[in-house]
Copies of this chain bind each other. A is one copy, B any other.
Amino acid sequence: MGSLTVTFEDYEIEAPAESGETILEVANHAGVRLASYCGGRGVCNQCGVVITSGKVQSKDAARWYEQPTEDGQGLRVLACQSVITEDISVHVPLRSRAEFFTIRDIAPLAGELVDLDRFPPLSPLTRQFVLELPQPSREDATTDLDRVLRGLLADDADLAPVTVDLPLLRELPTALRDNDFHVAVAVTDAGPTRTISTVRATGAAQSSLGVAIDVGTSTVVVQLVDLTTGQVRGAAMRRNAQIAYGEDVISRIVHTQQHDRGLREMYEAIRDTINDILGWLYDRHAVSPEQVIAVGLAGNATMMNLLLQIEATPIRHTPHTPPASLLPVFEAGQLGLNVHRRAGVFGHAAVNGFVGGDITAGILAVGMHKSTELCLLIDVGTNGEIVIGNKDWLMCASCSAGPAFEGVGVDAAMPATAGAITRLRYDPGEDSFEYETIDDQPPRGICGTGLVEMLATLVEAGAIDRSGQIDTSPGSERVREYGYEAEFVLLWAAESATGEDITIRQHDIDNLLRSKAAVLAGITVMLENLGLTAADVETLYLAGAFGAGLDVDSAVAIGLLPDVARERIQVVGNSALAGAYLALMSGRARQEANDIAASLTYLDLSTDARFMDEFIASDFIPHTDLSRFPSIQT
């Protein structure tokens, strides 16, 4: 077999290799599945690995990159472009593993958050009308377009004014005559006007589908929706392929600035991510892309800029302005999405570079813009966004939370799918964990909800202290050294589905604490600015990476949330996706979403001197000042 050896450290695999093979080829033979979308052409930038010992050569200098890892422990290279000439050892970061990008089925949104009855009547972004038009004759010689408009307005006089563009005009004569003037006409709500997007055989109208997409920095979620009824056909999620270029939006913007094709690469990564999920949903639900004639998008300003291929540099620099708040309705073909090329695309409006359409969508979904109560919306994604207000006023802020609760930067983390630990409680007396997993499958890792409970129970048990340090005093066999840091074993290999211990390391805890500290500091400073305290909050909506199963006691106990009465806290899940769905289905929702964006006031925390103080004070469980958390037993 091979005369050389490639050691994949993380997998404890020593793979035989021939001189001249690439790391990607060797990995494939050895069953180590690396993320790769470009077929090894060095284009997609997904298969980055770290060479921890030995050297490799470049297959193609033009595509080659070598960069030191953050900790200086090796060189990061693209596996597909790295040719083996000697024995090497390789570390495969989580984000370079194929499984990290696996598409997963998720439960469709349900309940109040997506209740369309709040936004009557049903009026999807794109509606399909079946028209049986009279054939032109001497007696009725009106033009093709006027004939179609007459038919449309007879069905719904409120459509006017209806416009068309040249591509539609070019298709119109043939589309009408090929179908004997019996056609399905799709009309997209383009703000001040309606636009005819397609004229097709009536068969096309049998199922008008749309997709609602949450374009997250770390995770992209897509719901396939029946536009006629609003029923969700299916939903799925995947990691954003842009993660290969950096975990936060700033590092991705920097990439667009530092590389000639940077903006294009970043666009292709998010486009491919979305299309990957779409293709998966189409397969699973026997749908053709041509059936999908409307798209609702919610994403932060950077994600939207990158998807729209708009220069994102101004978002990075003060005062962090995106190109537009309200977005026009686009054509899907302009974005390269794998739906009908003329599908209408509604993107939720951003307030600024840090409070994007995901937040205006979330406000729409939780309905705080129509509430008489003082509401607090917290969306913990890769950034943490906070909105306070009610029907009369809304104020928002953003803080750089980092993606820890989304499982990025926490080795044992995993999405909320089968085998994910959602609850766990440590009994230090018995030295045992009680836990629950999704679908009662053997545990594979911990999802965001479980991470909150893990912190709460570990601090309660004294396994970590209130500053988050793992107790390394001798005595517990669960605590051991891993490299330069301490590691705490949550579940032993015998219990886990992977056959390996499920552990939490010091840097994981540090990441989680910084995330929650940023969120809590943001909330505290905003409330103070308004002369309010946590006690004034009548409803707290927690949105984002957490499922409905989140234990709110734990969330307050670790100081992720302020000390609000538990019955006032609602864990709402993916409110951004819910808002995208509502806008897809209701013109009133689209209008309210735009009104929300126009009326939101922004508080810039980065210029508020108290924020950094509060952040440091909040990097503690739950906070250095326990008087802020009267309900917590200490």
Binding site for B on A (CB under 8 A): 136-138, 140-146, 161, 163-166, 169-170, 172-174, 177, 191-193, 308-311, 313-314, 318-328, 330, 334, 350, 352, 602, 604, 607
Q: How many copies of the polypeptide does the oligomer hold?
A: 2
Residue of B nearest to A335 (CB): B166
Assembly CA distance A52 to B67 (angstroms): 77
Assembly CA distance A323 to B138 (angstroms): 16
CB distance from A69 to the nearest CB of B (A): 33
Query: Is the pair A314, B136 in contact by a Cβ cutoff of 8 Å?
Result: yes
CB distance from A271 to the nearest CB of B (A): 14
Between A308, A320, A321, A330, the greatest number of chain B beta carbons within 10 A of the residue's beta carbon is seen for: A321
Given contacts A146-B324, A323-B144, A325-B145, A138 and B318 within 8 Å (CB-CB): yes
CB distance from A592 to the nearest CB of B (A): 18
Partner of A607, one of B138, B324, B326: B138
Query: Is the pair B173, A311 in contact by a Cβ cutoff of 8 Å?
Result: yes
Given contacts A173-B310, A173-B314, A322 and B191 within 8 Å (CB-CB): no
CB distance from A251 to the nearest CB of B (A): 19
Query: Is the pair B328, A144 in contact by a Cβ cutoff of 8 Å?
Result: no
* Interchain residue pairs with CB less than 8 A apart (6): A136-B319, A142-B321, A143-B324, A144-B323, A166-B334, A173-B313
CB distance from A408 to the nearest CB of B (A): 28
Query: Is the pair A328, B164 in contact by a Cβ cutoff of 8 Å?
Result: yes
Query: Is the pair B136, A169 in contact by a Cβ cutoff of 8 Å?
Result: no
Residues of B within 8 Å of A141, CB to CB, are 319-321, 352, 602
Which are the 6 A-B pairs with shortest beta-carbon distances? Answer: A145-B324, A141-B319, A173-B311, A161-B192, A144-B323, A143-B325
Assembly CA distance A145 to B305 (angstroms): 13
Query: Is the pair B144, A324 in contact by a Cβ cutoff of 8 Å?
Result: yes
Main secondary structure of the interface of A (DSSP, over half): loop
CB distance from A260 to the nearest CB of B (A): 15
Given contacts A142-B321, A143-B324, A144-B324, A310 and B170 within 8 Å (CB-CB): yes
Residues of B within 8 Å of A161, CB to CB, are 191-192
CB distance from A297 to the nearest CB of B (A): 13
Given contacts A308-B166, A310-B169, A319 and B352 within 8 Å (CB-CB): no
CB distance from A605 to the nearest CB of B (A): 12
Assembly CA distance A326 to B169 (angstroms): 11
Residue of B nearest to A172 (CB): B323
Query: Is the pair A352, B143 in contact by a Cβ cutoff of 8 Å?
Result: yes
Residues of B within 8 Å of A193, CB to CB, are 192-193
Residues of B within 8 Å of A322, CB to CB, are 143-144
Residue of B nearest to A191 (CB): B163
CB distance from A169 to the nearest CB of B (A): 5
Residue of B nearest to A350 (CB): B143
Query: Is the pair B325, A146 in contact by a Cβ cutoff of 8 Å?
Result: yes
Assembly CA distance A142 to B199 (angstroms): 39
Task: Add 5 more A-B contacts to A143-B352, A145-B326 (CB < 8 A).
Answer: A138-B607, A166-B328, A169-B324, A170-B309, A174-B311
Given contacts A144-B314, A163-B192, A163-B328, A136 and B321 within 8 Å (CB-CB): yes
Assembly CA distance A324 to B350 (angstroms): 37
Query: Is the pair A319, B173 in contact by a Cβ cutoff of 8 Å?
Result: no
CB distance from A190 to the nearest CB of B (A): 8
Given contacts A165-B328, A314-B177, A321 and B144 within 8 Å (CB-CB): yes
Partner of A138, one of B136, B138, B319: B319
Between A146, A177, A309, the greatest number of chain B beta carbons within 10 A of the residue's beta carbon is seen for: A146
Assembly CA distance A166 to B192 (angstroms): 17
Residue of B nearest to A195 (CB): B328
Residue of B nearest to A606 (CB): B138
Assembly CA distance A311 to B319 (angstroms): 50
Query: Is the pair A170, B308 in contact by a Cβ cutoff of 8 Å?
Result: yes
Residues of B within 8 Å of A177, CB to CB, are 314
Assembly CA distance A174 to B214 (angstroms): 27
Residues of B within 8 Å of A165, CB to CB, are 328
Residues of B within 8 Å of A334, CB to CB, are 166
Query: Is the pair A308, B607 in contact by a Cβ cutoff of 8 Å?
Result: no
Assembly CA distance A144 to B320 (angstroms): 11
Assembly CA distance A164 to B323 (angstroms): 11
CB distance from A523 to the nearest CB of B (A): 22
CB distance from A582 to the nearest CB of B (A): 23
Residues of B within 8 Å of A192, CB to CB, are 161, 163, 192-193
Assembly CA distance A320 to B137 (angstroms): 9
Residues of B within 8 Å of A314, CB to CB, are 136, 144, 173, 177
Residues of B within 8 Å of A352, CB to CB, are 141, 143
Query: Is the pair B169, A323 in contact by a Cβ cutoff of 8 Å?
Result: yes
Assembly CA distance A328 to B318 (angstroms): 40
Residues of B within 8 Å of A321, CB to CB, are 136, 141-144
Assembly CA distance A163 to B192 (angstroms): 9
Residue of B nearest to A327 (CB): B169
Assembly CA distance A187 to B314 (angstroms): 24
CB distance from A400 to the nearest CB of B (A): 18
Residues of B within 8 Å of A145, CB to CB, are 323-326
Residue of B nearest to A317 (CB): B136
Residue of B nearest to A164 (CB): B328
Assembly CA distance A325 to B604 (angstroms): 52
Residue of B nearest to A140 (CB): B319
Given contacts A144-B314, A192-B193, A314-B136, A323 and B166 within 8 Å (CB-CB): no
CB distance from A319 to the nearest CB of B (A): 4
Assembly CA distance A370 to B610 (angstroms): 71
Residues of B within 8 Å of A164, CB to CB, are 324, 328
CB distance from A529 to the nearest CB of B (A): 16
Between A318, A323, A330, A602, the greatest number of chain B beta carbons within 10 A of the residue's beta carbon is seen for: A323
